[in-house]
Structure 1
């Protein structure tokens, strides 16, 4: 199916992205997977080519283009090159951290961090999840206590993407134990601040090239200038920006599923069994027909969701539907693609095996798919 989402400008941008991925990303993927860490140099290279901060204001070094289709091109090309780990890091930077700074940051916060993040010389992370609080963010125990001069931040975060490389972390903390959802605030924490420390670089099932870490805040002294947005409005700030985060996960899920399907079509064309190409068997063609049709339908839905986001009309419910359905579809697609590879699909030297491991996190982070169904269900029965 021919997609109509893109125009000539996006096609030109894709050429730049594809060249960058081919030259600077793909040759290093295996080394990054083994190290559990992506080279910082590739971040600055991406920044120099205008691949970071696409939607950030041009006066801060960004692309100044509020068109998510450009981000979608980056996601597609990284997934096609079996570079899901680097894609995860870039998505946190461009789809989570930068939007918080653009929408909520003070002039000083923006001028300090946005240009560096767009250039790839600074890397950002978002610290919400804790050992005892994942999708249920109101159970967060990290606290920021008021002092005469500012705040004292105490607590622990875990499963933080970009946690090892991060130069700045957006931290979600409780600031008023008696105020319910109005008792949380966001803070910008420079990782050179005394009291901040990194814990383990976590060993994961998939996305092994991305640095996921524990973070600790041991009496970190902050000032009011480190507050991001409004004191007490942190929970609302998160809820307002979750649709973009969840659409980013949905977009990655579908791009990854499409890549696994493309690899599989090539494999069954070249591989033989019982003297016949695997794609010569009716069962293989039926499986390919099912997957191809499901992907075509899914792309239509995602393209519409991107149009809604660009128009400022993507609701939390719309994003929940996209995140749930497309990440769930990814699981089914990659599983069937691996099956068509036979025993080789179980070998990590084949990209479909790595895609199988990488895919499993998609229904979990950004809010579990069970939470997505609850959001959708509440909207249907309220």
Structure 2
């Protein structure tokens, strides 16, 4: 019997994770959902709770939690709220594995709570490692706990590294990027793009924030930072290649220049399921890859002038300390403002760079990371008015 605590259950990754659990159950696997958590989508969370019967649900929004408590009063499901509730769900005693699929910095404290409670961690919340990589990896090392990557790129690298004979055999990582909806456009052509245009991702169905990050290529920059922590490699040994088809999810290159790639149709069911069942391989709901129908695979270098967020993330990683936390916080605030129509598309990298320049690397502690995040958000919010 495996028991899962799922944070971010109503989002894109969370809903697919529950589908994966259901699929595994139908194959005779013994899976239970011990805890569910979401930000505020109480209607969907109630549906999930009634279907999967967790011991506890947590809602970050206090008002939404009150509403859900009323809706579930005919059940014995406990309803928690706020950051404290998210952390309690992450560390829930009845769970063996915690899957953190929340979006943004809100995921950092629940990640630490899960690790401190001795839980194996499946991680889809990249901001956890971007902002607090040093303290998160130390918490995992101290307790000898696995961090199983769920992002398709990091899962691909993790899968490719299963055949790595020794640490010194690895030469570099290659992260693939779809290029988003604006591939091929110049910086000038991006000046007037709209919210609706930026939300039209060509290959993946994701939430609004991650889709905008893909459009700016900030998402790939965050993934470079995440990969650096997960696989303990410096920034210069992590390459990014634009691969429009999103079939090669990423690859590794060894010292003998052999490259090993993980391929598959663009479907998050595979990386989610691999994190849940590792090291076993099980039938999944993802479709088979038909290379003949696909016909060709294409590759391009990223356009650093049109999409400066990628290089800004590299620079944040090189500066280290609290600078990545400031870059991430500034980006989250800037994306929210762009989605509200309050700033332009190209204002996102401009504000991220300005917030980075204001941040001293300092010493990384949880309190310092949270403060750097708050200051960066406040700066961006003020600069936008």
> What TM-score do the two structures reach when normalised by structure 2?
0.27
> What TM-score do the two structures reach when normalised by structure 1?
0.28
Structure exhibiting the larger radius of gyration computed from Cα positions = 1
